[in-house]
Amino acid sequence: MRIKTMAGCLCGLPLALALLFSSPMALAQETAVKAEAKAAVTQKDALDFPVMTLQHWKEGATEARYGFLIGFTSAIEMEKQWQGKKPLKLEDSLVNTWVRGFDGVTLKNIYDNIEAYVAANPDNLQLSLVEYLWYAYAQPQVKEKVSKAKLNSLNYKAEKRPLKNIKPAARGGN
Protein backbone atom coordinates (compact mmCIF):
# COMPACT_ATOMS: atom_id res chain seq x y z
CA MET A 1 0.00 0.00 0.00
CA ARG A 2 2.85 2.28 0.75
CA ILE A 3 4.33 1.83 -2.69
CA LYS A 4 1.04 2.71 -4.34
CA THR A 5 0.69 5.88 -2.23
CA MET A 6 4.26 6.86 -3.02
CA ALA A 7 3.68 6.22 -6.71
CA GLY A 8 0.54 8.33 -6.53
CA CYS A 9 2.56 11.12 -4.96
CA LEU A 10 5.20 10.84 -7.63
CA CYS A 11 2.58 11.06 -10.35
CA GLY A 12 1.35 14.33 -8.88
CA LEU A 13 4.89 15.71 -8.65
CA PRO A 14 5.03 17.08 -12.20
CA LEU A 15 1.73 18.87 -11.68
CA ALA A 16 2.90 20.28 -8.35
CA LEU A 17 6.18 21.45 -9.91
CA ALA A 18 4.35 23.00 -12.84
CA LEU A 19 2.04 24.90 -10.51
CA LEU A 20 4.90 25.87 -8.23
CA PHE A 21 7.14 27.24 -10.97
CA SER A 22 4.58 28.55 -13.46
CA SER A 23 3.82 31.71 -11.49
CA PRO A 24 7.45 32.64 -10.85
CA MET A 25 8.34 31.81 -14.46
CA ALA A 26 5.48 33.95 -15.74
CA LEU A 27 6.53 36.70 -13.38
CA ALA A 28 10.14 36.39 -14.54
CA GLN A 29 9.02 36.59 -18.16
CA GLU A 30 6.85 39.63 -17.39
CA THR A 31 9.76 41.24 -15.55
CA ALA A 32 12.08 40.57 -18.50
CA VAL A 33 9.58 42.21 -20.88
CA LYS A 34 9.32 45.23 -18.59
CA ALA A 35 13.12 45.43 -18.34
CA GLU A 36 13.42 45.40 -22.13
CA ALA A 37 10.80 48.14 -22.40
CA LYS A 38 12.58 50.16 -19.73
CA ALA A 39 15.90 49.72 -21.55
CA ALA A 40 14.29 51.18 -24.65
CA VAL A 41 13.73 54.49 -22.87
CA THR A 42 15.79 57.21 -24.47
CA GLN A 43 18.67 58.76 -22.59
CA LYS A 44 16.78 62.05 -22.34
CA ASP A 45 13.83 60.33 -20.70
CA ALA A 46 16.15 58.49 -18.36
CA LEU A 47 17.62 61.79 -17.17
CA ASP A 48 14.27 63.47 -16.57
CA PHE A 49 13.19 63.91 -12.98
CA PRO A 50 10.48 65.90 -11.28
CA VAL A 51 11.26 69.59 -11.14
CA MET A 52 9.24 71.90 -8.94
CA THR A 53 8.18 74.90 -10.99
CA LEU A 54 6.64 78.16 -9.91
CA GLN A 55 3.34 76.74 -11.22
CA HIS A 56 3.64 73.90 -8.69
CA TRP A 57 4.47 76.51 -6.06
CA LYS A 58 1.37 78.53 -6.92
CA GLU A 59 -0.89 75.48 -6.79
CA GLY A 60 0.69 73.96 -3.67
CA ALA A 61 -0.45 74.29 -0.09
CA THR A 62 1.46 76.57 2.26
CA GLU A 63 2.80 73.56 4.17
CA ALA A 64 4.14 71.99 0.96
CA ARG A 65 5.81 75.26 -0.03
CA TYR A 66 7.55 75.59 3.32
CA GLY A 67 8.38 71.87 3.19
CA PHE A 68 10.22 72.39 -0.10
CA LEU A 69 12.14 75.36 1.29
CA ILE A 70 13.04 73.52 4.49
CA GLY A 71 14.22 70.48 2.52
CA PHE A 72 16.24 72.58 0.09
CA THR A 73 17.96 74.68 2.73
CA SER A 74 18.51 71.62 4.94
CA ALA A 75 20.31 69.82 2.10
CA ILE A 76 22.59 72.83 1.70
CA GLU A 77 23.19 72.98 5.46
CA MET A 78 24.01 69.25 5.59
CA GLU A 79 26.57 69.65 2.82
CA LYS A 80 28.05 72.71 4.56
CA GLN A 81 28.40 70.75 7.82
CA TRP A 82 29.90 67.78 6.00
CA GLN A 83 32.55 70.02 4.42
CA GLY A 84 33.48 71.31 7.87
CA LYS A 85 35.87 74.16 8.58
CA LYS A 86 37.67 73.82 5.25
CA PRO A 87 34.93 74.17 2.65
CA LEU A 88 35.50 73.17 -0.95
CA LYS A 89 36.46 75.80 -3.50
CA LEU A 90 33.83 77.41 -5.70
CA GLU A 91 34.87 75.27 -8.65
CA ASP A 92 34.28 72.12 -6.59
CA SER A 93 31.03 73.01 -4.82
CA LEU A 94 28.29 75.61 -4.96
CA VAL A 95 27.37 75.11 -1.33
CA ASN A 96 29.22 78.19 -0.12
CA THR A 97 27.56 80.27 -2.81
CA TRP A 98 24.14 79.12 -1.63
CA VAL A 99 25.11 79.68 2.02
CA ARG A 100 26.23 83.23 1.23
CA GLY A 101 23.08 83.80 -0.79
CA PHE A 102 20.84 82.74 2.07
CA ASP A 103 22.92 84.50 4.75
CA GLY A 104 20.70 86.75 6.86
CA VAL A 105 17.54 85.57 5.12
CA THR A 106 14.69 83.75 6.85
CA LEU A 107 12.40 81.14 5.33
CA LYS A 108 9.63 83.73 5.61
CA ASN A 109 11.73 86.18 3.51
CA ILE A 110 12.31 83.54 0.85
CA TYR A 111 8.64 82.53 0.88
CA ASP A 112 7.45 86.14 0.57
CA ASN A 113 9.91 86.90 -2.25
CA ILE A 114 8.75 83.85 -4.23
CA GLU A 115 5.11 84.81 -3.65
CA ALA A 116 5.79 88.36 -4.86
CA TYR A 117 7.58 87.09 -7.97
CA VAL A 118 4.79 84.63 -8.80
CA ALA A 119 2.15 87.35 -8.38
CA ALA A 120 4.09 89.82 -10.54
CA ASN A 121 5.02 87.30 -13.27
CA PRO A 122 2.05 84.99 -13.93
CA ASP A 123 3.33 84.29 -17.46
CA ASN A 124 6.66 82.90 -16.19
CA LEU A 125 5.41 80.06 -13.99
CA GLN A 126 7.22 77.34 -15.99
CA LEU A 127 10.46 78.52 -14.34
CA SER A 128 11.88 75.99 -11.90
CA LEU A 129 11.87 77.05 -8.27
CA VAL A 130 15.58 76.23 -7.90
CA GLU A 131 16.35 78.41 -10.93
CA TYR A 132 14.44 81.29 -9.36
CA LEU A 133 16.32 80.80 -6.09
CA TRP A 134 19.64 80.71 -7.95
CA TYR A 135 19.08 84.02 -9.73
CA ALA A 136 17.50 85.73 -6.73
CA TYR A 137 19.92 84.56 -4.01
CA ALA A 138 23.03 82.65 -5.11
CA GLN A 139 24.16 84.19 -8.39
CA PRO A 140 24.42 87.74 -6.99
CA GLN A 141 26.82 86.33 -4.37
CA VAL A 142 28.95 84.63 -7.02
CA LYS A 143 29.29 87.84 -8.98
CA GLU A 144 29.93 89.86 -5.83
CA LYS A 145 32.48 87.58 -4.13
CA VAL A 146 34.47 86.18 -7.02
CA SER A 147 36.71 88.18 -9.32
CA LYS A 148 35.93 88.32 -13.02
CA ALA A 149 39.27 86.63 -13.82
CA LYS A 150 38.41 83.77 -11.48
CA LEU A 151 34.96 83.40 -13.08
CA ASN A 152 36.57 83.27 -16.53
CA SER A 153 38.99 80.57 -15.37
CA LEU A 154 35.98 78.52 -14.22
CA ASN A 155 34.23 79.02 -17.58
CA TYR A 156 31.40 80.60 -15.63
CA LYS A 157 28.87 82.30 -17.85
CA ALA A 158 27.65 85.32 -15.92
CA GLU A 159 24.27 85.62 -17.57
CA LYS A 160 22.52 88.93 -17.40
CA ARG A 161 19.46 87.44 -15.76
CA PRO A 162 17.91 85.91 -18.86
CA LEU A 163 14.84 85.14 -16.83
CA LYS A 164 12.23 87.82 -16.79
CA ASN A 165 12.35 90.28 -13.92
CA ILE A 166 14.39 88.28 -11.42
CA LYS A 167 16.29 90.69 -9.23
CA PRO A 168 18.43 89.96 -6.20
CA ALA A 169 15.98 89.08 -3.46
CA ALA A 170 15.02 91.50 -0.74
CA ARG A 171 16.64 90.79 2.60
CA GLY A 172 15.78 91.33 6.21
CA GLY A 173 12.45 91.36 7.96
CA ASN A 174 10.95 88.37 9.71
- Clarify whether residues 97 and 60 are in a common domain: yes
- Inter-residue contact 171 to 109 (CB < 8 Å): yes
| pLDDT for res 54 | 94
Question: How deeply is 161 buried, as exposed, middle or buried, from its count of CB atoms within 10 A (0-12, 13-18, 19+)?
Answer: middle
59 and 14 in a common domain: no
Q: How far apart are CA 172 and CA 104, in angstroms?
A: 7
**Same domain (yes/no): 86, 137:** yes
Q: Is residue 163 part of a domain?
A: no
- Per-residue confidence band for 9, with pLDDT thresholds at 50, 70 and 90: very low
103 and 134 within one domain:
yes
> Do both 60 and 116 map to the same domain?
yes
- The answer to whether residue 160 is domain-embedded is no
Q: Is the domain of 72 the same as that of 105?
A: yes
Vertex 27 angle, CA 23 and 31, to 5°: 175
Q: Give the span between the Cα atoms of 6 and 35, in whole angstroms.
A: 42
Judge whether 118 lies within some domain: yes
Residue 40, number of CB atoms within 10 A of its CB: 8
Angle at 124 between CA 163 and CA 159, to 5 degrees: 5
Indicate if 34 and 67 belong to the same structural domain. Answer: no
Q: What's the whole-number average pLDDT of the chain?
A: 72
Domain membership of residue 166 (yes or no) is: no
Q: Each residue of 17-65: pLDDT tens digit?
A: 444 444 444 444 555 555 565 555 555 555 566 788 999 999 999 999 9
pLDDT band at 149 (very low <50, low <70, confident <90, very high): low
State whether 38 and 65 are in the same domain.
Answer: no
- Model confidence pLDDT, tens digit, residues 82-104: 888 887 776 677 888 888 888 88
* 148 and 73 in a common domain: yes
Distance CA 1, CA 24 (A): 35
* pTM check: above 0.85: no
pLDDT per position as a tens digit, 77-87:
898 888 888 87
- Sign of the torsion angle spanned by Cα atoms 136, 66, 68, 60: negative
Q: Is the same domain home to 13 and 71?
A: no
Range of the domain at 142: 54-153
Distance of CA 136 to the CA centre of its chain: 19
Q: State residue 67's pLDDT score.
A: 93
Q: How many domains does the chain have?
A: 2
Same-domain pairing of 20 and 62: no
112 has a pLDDT exceeding 90: yes
What length is written for the chain? Answer: 174
Q: Is the pLDDT of residue 164 over 90?
A: no
Shared-domain flag, residues 17 and 59: no
Residue 159 lies in a domain: no
140 pLDDT tier (thresholds 50, 70, 90): confident
Q: Exposed (0-12), middle (13-18) or buried (19+): which is 150, by Cβ within 10 Å?
A: middle
